[in-house]
Amino acid sequence: MSNPQAVIECPACGSRNKETWEFCVRCGESLQGAADAATRPTAGSPAVATEILSPEAVTTQADGPSLWTLLTAAVAIVAAGALWQSGWARKEVPRPPASAVAGSMPEPAPQPPAPAYSSAALKFMQARQKIASGDASGAFVLFEQALRDEPQNAEFHSGFGQALLQVGRADEAVAEMRQAARLTPSTYQGVLARFLYVAGRTDESLREYEVLIADQPQDVSAAREYATILSQAGQFARAADALRRLAQAQPQNSNLQTELAYALERAGDTRAASDAYRAALSADPANANALARLADLLGAQGEGQQVVDLYRTALERNPTAAPLHRRLGEALEKTGDYRQAALHYREYVRLNPNEPMADGVAKRAAMLEARLAERS
């Protein structure tokens, strides 16, 4: 039976080790076979096990590295041997099973399912693509098949109507759009009204707008479109009536007030038009369109200096507006300020050299400059 206090000498480096150790604490050499040469210390010898393991003994030995350092190295060597046996030192790192890795990974976020289109919807989309590529005949076949499958689909009727209008089949186009409006009036009634106007059926368009406005009085855009079509059709009094109702509901809408003023002016009600232009400027003093139109209106009534002031203000807001320079030049010429009038005529020509009126305005400026030269 081995003595726990016996020590053996390492055959490689000569360090003393406990008999029970398998490896040298200093160099890691195997101690097997060296036990027979071991010397057993006597009492009081500094190599007893209690001294070898004592921190005090470790820190006071002067012949070589401290025993604590050697012990640390021994631990590292033993660990390295274990790693070698396990395969880590040879980079044969055992891999965890795939199931364990998968179990530690977060679950991927669920992907939304792809939209499921019906056969009719797919035909409709293909028809739209064919229209875009110029294949009208192929598109119409697909439109008709889609509508045969889903005859109550308002979107299909609307799309087919637009396609028909593109190739000039206006009557059929209108019929399809009317069907869409019948099926879903809240969505397609306004579309039908605009569609009829584009198709050149102004009176029918206006009637549809009137139905829409009566059903949906809060639809401001429809009311403005209605008034615009009336103005373009030359029905300014009716346009003014429609715009007046909108302007009363939105008194701070400067552009709306300007549209009302213009309709009133074209309808012949210049006093009401002047008031509406001023209301537009009260809501937005920077409204250059209202300034210019009011100046035009007052200029026609002979209001010289007031017109000049309005045009100057409008140009401060929009200094590159060539027509304003020409109009200000005309107003200044009427007041006798030829020098300033000629300057604004020249500015008009500089900004719009290719306009048909440019040559005439340039000649007018030259004539005024000649008059000034004669006076001097």
pLDDT for residue 361: 94
| Closest of 333, 327, 376 to residue 347, by C-alpha | 327
Encoded tokens for 105: 């990974």
pLDDT for residue 125: 93
| Amino acid identity at 150 | E
Residue 55 and residue 68 in contact, taking contact as beta carbons nearer than 8 Å: yes
Instruction: Give the residue range(s) of CATH 1.25.40.10 domains in the chain.
Output: 119-216
Q: What is the pLDDT of residues 88-138, one digit of tens each?
A: 444 444 454 555 444 445 566 676 665 678 999 999 999 999 988 988 888
Residues of the chain below pLDDT 50 = 1-2, 37-80, 82-94, 96, 100-104
Helix axes 304-317, 288-300, angle to 10 degrees: 160
Residue 84 and residue 90 in contact, taking contact as beta carbons nearer than 8 Å: yes
In angstroms, the CA 325 to CA 312 distance is 9
The DSSP bridge partners found for residue 39 are: 7
pLDDT for residue 310: 85
Helix axes 338-351, 358-375, angle to 10 degrees: 150
| Amino acid identity at 165 | L
Contacts of 142 (CB under 8 A, 6+ apart): 123, 124, 126, 127, 130
End-to-end CA distance of the chain: 140
Please identify, in words, the CATH class of the domain defined by 119-216. mainly alpha
Measured in degrees and rounded to the nearest 5, phi and psi for residue 151 equal -70, -15
| Amino acid identity at 120 | A
pLDDT for residue 71: 40
Per-residue burial over 136-172, b = 16 or more CB atoms within 10 Å of its CB, e = otherwise = eeebbebbeebbeebeebbbbbbbbbbbbbeeebbeb
| Closest of 147, 150, 138, 198 to residue 170, by C-alpha | 198
Helices within the chain (DSSP H only): 49-52, 55-60, 67-86, 98-104, 119-132, 136-149, 154-166, 170-183, 185-198, 202-215, 220-232, 236-249, 254-267, 270-283, 288-300, 304-317, 322-335, 338-351, 358-375
